[in-house]
A and B are shown apart, each in its own frame.
Chain A
Amino acid sequence: MKKGEEALTFVFSMIFIMVILFLFFSLFLIDSITKRDYAIKQIDNGNANINLINYLRTPIKKDYTIYDLIIDSYYNEEYNELEKETSNIFNKIYNKELCPLWNLKGKVNNNKFFEYESEFDIRKYTLTPNPRGNIFLLTTSNRIYPKSFSLELKFPDLDKNSTIVLTEGCIINE
């Protein structure tokens, strides 16, 4: 092989090696960019919620539960006791460190007849007008995931279609 040919082959070999190295480097780079950790943190178990069910069956006096109080409050249009009992119960369950948000709403034929919520105002942390459909950013690593649960309530008037909706928002560390 002539000197000139050898030099030419050497140059092409170098280019070839560089191309190969570049390709492998690119592959590893792409690989590292697209590598993701996925996490499934919770599941919804229908619309039932132990806290909501137990709230409704909490006894206030003998044979008289919160459920009865809701119905009486609706017909008497007197909500003070209901508000007091509700806030008492939910402020105990949802503490500021773990689950700062709760909101309880009662509806009859789609018309709201009471709504109580935590002191923690989620609207300050949301950028959209629909605060219950989003994930709220509190800090860089903590997020609040709101979940809603609903139950149908039976009223003495059978034509009344009533539901009670509880929204809870607990902090999840990312």
Chain B
Amino acid sequence: MNKKSQFDTTKELLLWIPRIILIVIVVGTVFYIVTIPIRKNFEINELHQNILRQRFVYSENCMAYKENKIYPGIVDIKKFEKENLEKCFQSNKIGVTLNLMNNTLKTIKINEKIAEKDIFCIDKKHFSCTNYTYYVLIKNEIIEPGLLNIHMVKTK
């Protein structure tokens, strides 16, 4: 290789540097823009539990009292049975503890193994928990007021 061709090669190499930098910037920008929507991590565990919880009090298949029409929020005591609630809940990933309180306390656990992990709810990294109390009317022989506490536990 003579001196001129050596000089040309070096010059060509040096000229490639800004080109490569530009390519890196362009590729990086494209990569960054493309991954923006992917980087959004939506946490919907609580929303999911919120919707499932409402099913208990709104659905006639769960515990809403029905006589000609459905009365959301009025608990039909005959429907407050483990078998019926398991059938209506239809999820095996969330543990639920239902406490129906008026003069007595009646407790039902769905997906018991998960529901019993409620002591770990302080660990928010691995568990998602919700707890809400409804003021309900309980239809037995007569209608009487009571409280329905629904505690849900889900492992993330």
Instruction: List the B side residues contacting A55 at CB < 8 Å.
Output: 135
Question: Chain B residues with Cβ under 8 A from A99's Cβ?
Answer: 132-133
A12 at the interface (CB under 8 A from B): yes
Query: Which of A42-50, A106-114, A115-123 contacts its partner?
Result: A42-50
Tally of contact residues, A, Cβ under 8 A: 44
Residue of A24, A38, A54, A57 near B43 (CB, 8 A) is A38
Known interface pairs A9-B13, A38-B43, A58-B145; A95-B133 also in contact (CB < 8 Å): yes
Answer whether A27 and B6 are a contact pair too, CB < 8 Å, given A16-B17, A54-B145, A55-B135: no
The answer to whether A39 touches B6 (Cβ under 8 A) is: no
CA distance A104 to B75 in the complex (A): 24
Classify chain B: how many residues form its interface, as a range.
35 or more
User: Residues of A contacting B74 with CB < 8 Å?
Assistant: 54
Counting CB contacts under 8 A, is A173 at the interface?
Answer: yes
Partner of B145, one of A19, A23, A35, A89: A89
CB distance from B140 to the nearest CB of A (A): 13
- Nearest 8 A/B pairs, CB to CB: A39-B43, A50-B73, A41-B46, A51-B135, A93-B135, A40-B47, A37-B41, A54-B73
